[in-house]
Structure 1
Amino acid sequence: MPESLFRNPVLKSLSPEDFALLRPSLHRVELDIKAQLLIAHQPIRNGYFPERGIASVVATMTGGRQCEVGIIGYDRMTGIAVILGQDSSSNETYI
Protein backbone atom coordinates (compact mmCIF):
# COMPACT_ATOMS: atom_id res chain seq x y z
CA MET A 1 0.00 0.00 0.00
CA PRO A 2 1.78 3.15 -1.05
CA GLU A 3 1.31 6.11 1.25
CA SER A 4 -0.67 7.90 -1.48
CA LEU A 5 -3.57 5.46 -0.83
CA PHE A 6 -4.03 6.83 2.69
CA ARG A 7 -6.06 9.92 3.58
CA ASN A 8 -4.45 10.48 6.98
CA PRO A 9 -1.96 13.38 6.77
CA VAL A 10 0.32 11.82 9.40
CA LEU A 11 0.93 8.81 7.16
CA LYS A 12 1.14 10.94 4.04
CA SER A 13 3.80 13.16 5.61
CA LEU A 14 6.19 10.32 6.45
CA SER A 15 9.36 9.94 4.47
CA PRO A 16 9.47 6.85 2.24
CA GLU A 17 11.96 5.28 4.66
CA ASP A 18 9.75 5.87 7.71
CA PHE A 19 6.63 4.73 5.87
CA ALA A 20 8.45 1.52 4.86
CA LEU A 21 9.04 0.77 8.58
CA LEU A 22 5.31 1.03 9.34
CA ARG A 23 3.97 -0.54 6.18
CA PRO A 24 4.09 -4.20 7.34
CA SER A 25 1.92 -3.32 10.36
CA LEU A 26 -0.67 -1.17 8.59
CA HIS A 27 -4.11 -2.70 8.16
CA ARG A 28 -7.36 -0.99 7.27
CA VAL A 29 -10.11 -1.71 9.78
CA GLU A 30 -13.74 -0.66 10.08
CA LEU A 31 -14.66 0.23 13.64
CA ASP A 32 -18.09 0.39 15.22
CA ILE A 33 -19.26 3.53 16.97
CA LYS A 34 -18.19 3.46 20.64
CA ALA A 35 -15.50 0.85 19.98
CA GLN A 36 -12.81 1.16 22.65
CA LEU A 37 -9.38 1.77 21.11
CA LEU A 38 -7.30 2.38 24.23
CA ILE A 39 -7.92 1.24 27.80
CA ALA A 40 -6.56 3.47 30.56
CA HIS A 41 -3.40 2.17 32.26
CA GLN A 42 -3.21 -0.87 29.94
CA PRO A 43 -0.44 -1.44 27.39
CA ILE A 44 -1.11 0.29 24.08
CA ARG A 45 -1.34 -2.51 21.55
CA ASN A 46 -2.32 -0.54 18.44
CA GLY A 47 -2.14 2.95 17.09
CA TYR A 48 -4.90 4.15 14.80
CA PHE A 49 -4.63 6.66 11.96
CA PRO A 50 -8.25 7.71 11.35
CA GLU A 51 -9.24 8.51 7.79
CA ARG A 52 -12.73 9.74 8.65
CA GLY A 53 -14.76 10.29 11.81
CA ILE A 54 -13.30 11.10 15.19
CA ALA A 55 -11.99 9.33 18.25
CA SER A 56 -12.85 10.65 21.70
CA VAL A 57 -10.25 10.76 24.49
CA VAL A 58 -11.98 10.33 27.86
CA ALA A 59 -10.60 10.88 31.36
CA THR A 60 -12.14 9.17 34.38
CA MET A 61 -12.20 11.39 37.44
CA THR A 62 -12.39 10.57 41.12
CA GLY A 63 -15.82 9.10 41.77
CA GLY A 64 -16.02 7.52 38.32
CA ARG A 65 -17.36 10.50 36.38
CA GLN A 66 -15.99 10.75 32.85
CA CYS A 67 -15.11 13.79 30.79
CA GLU A 68 -14.02 14.12 27.18
CA VAL A 69 -10.59 15.72 27.23
CA GLY A 70 -9.69 15.51 23.57
CA ILE A 71 -10.64 14.44 20.09
CA ILE A 72 -8.58 12.80 17.38
CA GLY A 73 -9.61 13.43 13.81
CA TYR A 74 -8.49 12.22 10.40
CA ASP A 75 -5.35 14.36 10.68
CA ARG A 76 -3.88 12.72 13.80
CA MET A 77 -3.31 9.33 15.42
CA THR A 78 -4.20 7.47 18.61
CA GLY A 79 -1.61 6.04 20.98
CA ILE A 80 0.65 9.09 20.85
CA ALA A 81 1.93 8.14 24.33
CA VAL A 82 4.01 5.38 22.68
CA ILE A 83 5.86 7.97 20.60
CA LEU A 84 6.54 9.88 23.81
CA GLY A 85 8.15 6.82 25.41
CA GLN A 86 5.18 5.58 27.46
CA ASP A 87 3.54 2.18 27.10
CA SER A 88 0.09 3.25 28.32
CA SER A 89 -2.18 6.25 28.69
CA SER A 90 -4.10 7.51 31.71
CA ASN A 91 -7.12 8.06 29.44
CA GLU A 92 -9.40 5.86 27.40
CA THR A 93 -10.07 6.38 23.70
CA TYR A 94 -13.27 5.48 21.85
CA ILE A 95 -14.27 5.79 18.22
Structure 2
Amino acid sequence: MQTKDELIEILKKIVKPYVQDEQAFENVTESTDFLNDLKINSSNLVDIALDVEEEFNIEIDNESMEHMLTVGSAIAIITKKLAEK
Protein backbone atom coordinates (compact mmCIF):
# COMPACT_ATOMS: atom_id res chain seq x y z
CA MET A 1 0.00 0.00 0.00
CA GLN A 2 1.33 3.43 -0.94
CA THR A 3 1.86 6.24 1.54
CA LYS A 4 -0.14 9.44 1.29
CA ASP A 5 2.89 11.24 -0.17
CA GLU A 6 3.34 8.54 -2.82
CA LEU A 7 -0.35 8.80 -3.72
CA ILE A 8 -0.04 12.58 -4.06
CA GLU A 9 2.93 12.14 -6.43
CA ILE A 10 1.04 9.59 -8.56
CA LEU A 11 -2.02 11.86 -8.59
CA LYS A 12 0.12 14.82 -9.67
CA LYS A 13 1.39 12.84 -12.67
CA ILE A 14 -2.21 11.95 -13.59
CA VAL A 15 -3.62 15.50 -13.34
CA LYS A 16 -0.63 17.37 -14.84
CA PRO A 17 -1.90 17.25 -18.47
CA TYR A 18 -5.20 18.86 -17.40
CA VAL A 19 -3.82 21.62 -15.13
CA GLN A 20 -4.37 25.22 -16.24
CA ASP A 21 -2.65 26.90 -13.27
CA GLU A 22 0.98 25.77 -13.16
CA GLN A 23 1.83 27.79 -10.05
CA ALA A 24 -0.95 26.14 -8.02
CA PHE A 25 0.23 22.78 -9.36
CA GLU A 26 3.72 23.40 -7.98
CA ASN A 27 2.23 23.79 -4.50
CA VAL A 28 -0.28 20.92 -4.46
CA THR A 29 -1.50 19.88 -1.00
CA GLU A 30 -4.36 17.71 0.19
CA SER A 31 -6.62 20.77 0.27
CA THR A 32 -5.89 21.69 -3.38
CA ASP A 33 -9.17 21.88 -5.29
CA PHE A 34 -9.03 20.47 -8.84
CA LEU A 35 -11.55 22.94 -10.27
CA ASN A 36 -10.86 26.14 -8.34
CA ASP A 37 -7.12 25.91 -7.64
CA LEU A 38 -5.77 23.97 -10.60
CA LYS A 39 -8.39 25.34 -13.03
CA ILE A 40 -9.17 21.88 -14.40
CA ASN A 41 -12.47 21.92 -16.24
CA SER A 42 -15.19 19.61 -14.95
CA SER A 43 -15.26 17.37 -18.03
CA ASN A 44 -11.57 16.65 -17.49
CA LEU A 45 -12.38 15.43 -13.97
CA VAL A 46 -14.01 12.42 -15.62
CA ASP A 47 -10.78 11.81 -17.58
CA ILE A 48 -8.81 12.06 -14.35
CA ALA A 49 -11.12 9.57 -12.64
CA LEU A 50 -10.67 7.15 -15.55
CA ASP A 51 -6.88 7.61 -15.41
CA VAL A 52 -6.96 6.96 -11.63
CA GLU A 53 -9.01 3.79 -12.20
CA GLU A 54 -6.47 2.56 -14.72
CA GLU A 55 -3.42 3.51 -12.63
CA PHE A 56 -4.66 1.82 -9.46
CA ASN A 57 -6.79 -0.91 -11.06
CA ILE A 58 -9.87 0.21 -9.12
CA GLU A 59 -13.40 1.22 -10.03
CA ILE A 60 -14.70 4.64 -9.01
CA ASP A 61 -18.49 4.81 -8.93
CA ASN A 62 -20.34 7.97 -9.90
CA GLU A 63 -21.06 8.94 -6.29
CA SER A 64 -17.36 8.74 -5.39
CA MET A 65 -16.45 10.64 -8.54
CA GLU A 66 -18.75 13.50 -7.50
CA HIS A 67 -16.83 13.80 -4.22
CA MET A 68 -13.41 13.70 -5.87
CA LEU A 69 -12.95 17.48 -5.94
CA THR A 70 -9.76 17.93 -3.94
CA VAL A 71 -6.47 16.09 -3.78
CA GLY A 72 -7.33 14.92 -0.26
CA SER A 73 -10.74 13.56 -1.24
CA ALA A 74 -9.19 11.77 -4.24
CA ILE A 75 -6.60 10.15 -1.97
CA ALA A 76 -9.32 9.10 0.49
CA ILE A 77 -11.33 7.50 -2.32
CA ILE A 78 -8.27 5.76 -3.81
CA THR A 79 -7.23 4.46 -0.37
CA LYS A 80 -10.74 3.18 0.36
CA LYS A 81 -11.04 1.45 -3.03
CA LEU A 82 -7.59 -0.15 -2.67
CA ALA A 83 -8.55 -1.45 0.79
CA GLU A 84 -11.71 -3.04 -0.68
CA LYS A 85 -9.71 -5.02 -3.26
Q: TM-score interval w.r.t. the shorter chain?
A: under 0.3
TM-score, with structure 2 as normaliser? 0.26
Larger Cα-atom Rg: 1
TM-score, with structure 1 as normaliser? 0.24
Structure number with the higher helix fraction is 2
Higher relative contact order (CA 8 A, sep 6+): 1
